[in-house]
Amino acid sequence: MSLDGQNPTKAIQDPAMQDPATGSQPAPVVRAEDRAAVVSGATGPQRAQLAPEQPLALRSVREQVEDARHTARKILVLGATSGIAEACIRQWAQRGDALYLVARNPDRLAAVAADARTRGASSVGSAVADLDDTAAHPELLAHAINGLGGLDVAFLAMGVLGEQSQAERSFSAAHQILHTNLTAPVSLLTWLANYTAQRHAGTLAVLSSVAGERGRRSNYVYGSSKAGLTAFVDGLRNRIDRDGVRVMTIKPGPVKTAMTEAMKGSEKFADVEAVASTLVKAIDRGKDIVYVPGIWRIIMAVIRAIPERVFKKLNL
Ligand X SMILES: NC(=O)c1ccc[n+]([C@@H]2O[C@H](COP(=O)([O-])OP(=O)(O)OC[C@H]3O[C@@H](n4cnc5c(N)ncnc54)[C@H](OP(=O)(O)O)[C@@H]3O)[C@@H](O)[C@H]2O)c1
**Residue 132 lies near ligand X (rule: CB under 6 A):** yes
Report how far residue 35's alpha carbon sits from residue 229's, in angstroms, rounded to the nearest whole number: 33
* 273 in contact with ligand X (CB under 6 A): no
Is 127 a binding residue for ligand X by CB under 6 A? The answer is no
Q: What track of x and - describes contact with ligand X for positions 152 through 181 (by CB under 6 A)?
A: -----xxxx-------------------x-
Pick the piece of the chain touching ligand X (CB under 6 A) from 18-26, 111-119, 257-265, 296-304: 257-265
- Tell me, letter by letter, the H, E, C secondary structure of 116-174: HHHHCCCEEEEEECCCCCHHHHHHHHHHHHHHHCCCCEEEECCCCCCCHHHHHHCHHHH
User: Binders of ligand X: how many residues, by CB under 6 A?
Assistant: 25
* CA–CA dist 122, 188 (Å, integer): 25
Interface with ligand X (CB under 6 A), residue from 28, 41, 125, 252: 252
Looking at the Cβ atoms of 199 and 214, the one nearer to ligand X is 214
Separation of alpha carbons 100 and 32, rounded Å: 17
100 is catalytic: no
Dihedral sign from CA coordinates of 307, 308, 314, 316: positive
Closest CA to 229 of 269, 179, 195: 179
Is 195 or 269 the residue whose CB approaches ligand X more closely?
A: 269
Under the binding rule (CB under 6 A), the answer on residue 81 touching ligand X is: yes
Residue of minimal Cβ distance to ligand X = 159
The DSSP bridge partners found for residue 250 are 207, 290
Among 84, 89, 148, 177, binds ligand X (CB under 6 A): 84
Binding site for ligand X (CB under 6 A): 79, 81-84, 103-105, 130-132, 157-160, 180, 207, 209, 252, 254-255, 257-260
Q: Which residues are catalytic?
A: 222
